[in-house]
Structure 1
Amino acid sequence: MNHGVRGGTIGAVTSGVTQRSLRPWPTGAATGVGSMPGTDSGEAAAVVFGELPEFPHLPELPARGVGADLLGRTAAVLVDLAVDVVPSGYRVAARPGRDQRRAVDLLRWDIDAVTEAAGRGAPEVVKTQLAGPWTLAAGVELARGHRVLTDRGAVRDFTDSLVEGLAAHVAQLAERTGARVVVQFDEPSLPDVLAGALSTPSGYGTVPAVPEPEARDLLGTVIEAARERTGAAVAVHCCARRPPVGLLRAAGADAVSLDATLLTGAGGALLDEIGEAYDAGTTLLLGLVPSTAPATPPELKTLARPAFDLVDRLGFARATLAEQAVPTPTCGLAGATADWVRRALSLTRDLGKAFVEPVEGW
């Protein structure tokens, strides 16, 4: 494995000093992926800021329905573009309607809740999550029912709108919380975009695959824009079994968020991509804690094992996890019980501490 590959990034910063300065969270911090259960934004914010005080995030509450899911949340920040909801999902509209106004209201209430929670703890950093440009283009339809993804001009329009709206969103969140803002772009649909696996409206065909260079360049545009506006690391989350880590790194992602429990048995190509990213200074947000309660209460040592096994296989010292890895749940917690949410976030925080001071015998 060649851990020394460092070229080909767009806007990426790879020197150790600069990479560290982009990480506003302290060593040993832990964070969440994004979604939480329930419909009470105040309660969700209180739990997140209470359990993850060093690296909290803006909670998403998809159980509230239209406008509260990933696409709806992202639609709420778009500028000069409107979407509405039809039976098949989100669709471009001529002007903002009830559904988009609801999404804007939900986001405003969430920021109010986070502002109140932040006032009690004064966090130095807070993370916000939005759909990345390819997941947004794959999940929103044009007026005739085809995905935005099928129209390159429309993809660019949505990306430009996302970048502009992101700037205002980040500025508001920073002003309200007094914290530095880390942006996480969620790209669950990116592997299907690259593979040409997304269906057409008829269901009998698939949308042609997007070439990797095109996917990389567009994603790089929003990553660079987010970094310029925050002065902080930008993360990209992809919970697929085989996330395109090499592409994410080449696009300039400072941090890659993935489900580490799915890496057991991963092939050499994926491990090479992860190893090269890690060696270049990319932070790994490692999903380690189950997103729903397991049948048997997990031990911390068992939860930490995929992280230790990963760096062992890559040939890095386990001590590097303290500086370059951030534990998270394996995915969003929208399907968890209230009891498990608190326990899961508490375990995630304990993992961060264990990266700094590993327990003897692990």
Structure 2
Amino acid sequence: MAAAGDMVISEFGDQLHLPHLPQRGLGSDAVGYSAALLESLSVDRGARSWQLSARPQRWSWFLKDLRERDIDVLEETWQHAGQEIKLQVMGPVSLASQIELADGHRVLSDRSALFDLADALAVGIANFRADMTRRFSATTVLQIDEPYLAQCVRGEIPGATDYHKIAPLDPDDFAALLARCSEGPVEYLNVSETDHDALHQVIADAVADNKQQASVSNSGGVGEIIIDQHQLTGTAKLDQLAELIDAGVRVGLACVPPDLIWDDQGENPRRLAVRIARLLDTLGIERLAGSRLIDICPQPGIPGKTILDCARTYRLSREVARMLAEDIGDL
């Protein structure tokens, strides 16, 4: 964690993010690391996945201790962290799809349990943000990752047995669950894809909720939606992306492959920048206006095997963003 924290502050300066290191093994995975935040709910390692337990078990303490130790290390490494720290947490829907109840059924299969988990996560996130603000004297921004949201909306999450089907997530529930997880705005929502009508409605509801609440209380809603460029195939998906940008919604485009190499001539980042500029042309969006609403992000997955590989991917992302900001008319 110390090496990862040093790399993050070297690459990003005063706009930091909490490193996640799933390659360390069980407990550092996205589900376990986020489950450590659940307040008043305990998790243990079951036969197939993480599982809610009636009282804290060995794994419950391990998860909380691991996260606490990581923050201690970052406090020593960063010292004066700067102005902003981004915190990434797996969202309530994806978390509920990967954690089981004591009877072996997924939390997602029980609507009441799903909302209870969201409430527990909300309290944990609030406490976590307060602790990070206290330790680092920095503003925190929140990224909710929902990698399994599409499958949940489509009803593709398998049940405990072949005879037990989990009903598709009601699109109206997602905005409510998202609102429960944040006392203020969710600055970043990572949904990976937008190619399903029901999922598109989920996103539209969340964005509309943001606009309505922002005009009243400046709380709730979503600031930016992160989408995996690999999913942008087909007219329907491209049309949905165009609708988001036309509506003035910021889009984080996860488009930098983890294996992209920084060549001496800088041709690889330029080729990627050209591809994004042409994507805007395909969408029928003016390049300069569109580029101001797009953030460049690494694609999902671990960028290489070492800290240096991660640093390279971050630099490539920044270089592509710079080209789009400065040279988009010439690409």
**TM-score range, shorter-chain basis?**
0.7 to 0.9
In the TM superposition, 1:269-280 aligns within 5 A as 270-280=237-247
Secondary structure of 1:357's aligned partner: helix
Return the letter of the residue paired with 1:250: D
Which structure has more relative contact order (CA 8 Å, sep 6+)? It is: 1
1:235 to 188, 194, 202: 188
Matched with 1:114 is 74
Shift of 1:113: 3.2
- Structure 2 residue ranges without an equivalent (≥5): 207-220
Q: Which stretch of the first structure deviates more once superposed, 58-67 or 275-284? A: 275-284
CA contact (8 A) 2:245 2:290 kept: no
Q: 1:210 to 1:336 in 2, by over 3 A?
A: same
Matched with 1:281 is 248
Q: 1:254 to 1:134 in 2, by over 3 A?
A: same
Secondary structure of 1:96's aligned partner: coil
CA contact (8 A) 2:270 2:323 kept: no
CA contact (8 A) 2:287 2:328 kept: no
1:154 to 113, 122, 135: 113
| Two-structure CA RMSD over aligned residues (Å) | 2.4
In the TM superposition, 1:163-182 aligns within 5 A as 163-182=122-141
Matched with 1:5 is none
1:266 to 234, 237, 241: 234
Q: Which stretch of the first structure deviates more once superposed, 66-75 or 45-54? A: 45-54
Shift of 1:57: 1.2
Shift of 1:186: 0.8
In the TM superposition, 1:87-236 aligns within 5 A as 87-119=47-79, 122-203=81-162, 205-223=164-182, 225-227=183-185, 234-236=187-189
Q: Which stretch of the first structure deviates more once superposed, 254-263 or 125-134? A: 254-263
Shift of 1:275: 2.4
Runs of 4+ deviating beyond 6 Å: none
Higher helix share: 2
Return the letter of the residue paired with 1:189: Y
2:299 to 314, 324, 330: 330
CA contact (8 A) 2:26 2:32 kept: yes
TM-score, length-scaled by structure 2: 0.85
CA distance in 1, matches of 2:273, 2:201: 24
* Cα displacement string for residues 55-88 of structure 1 (whole angstroms, at most 9, x for unaligned residues): 3210111122222111111111111110100120
Matched with 1:356 is 325
2:202 to 242, 247, 257: 247
Shift of 1:258: 1.4
How many equivalent pairs are there? 312
2:41 to 63, 81, 98: 81
CA contact (8 A) 1:67 1:100 kept: no
* Cα displacement string for residues 242-273 of structure 1 (whole angstroms, at most 9, x for unaligned residues): 3735422422321111112432x3323x3333
CA contact (8 A) 1:260 1:307 kept: no
CA contact (8 A) 1:283 1:325 kept: yes
In the TM superposition, 1:53-68 aligns within 5 A as 53=13, 55-68=15-28
Shift of 1:334: 6.0
CA distance in 1, matches of 2:274, 2:5: 29
- Structure 1 residue ranges without an equivalent (≥5): 1-40, 228-232
CA contact (8 A) 1:256 1:283 kept: yes
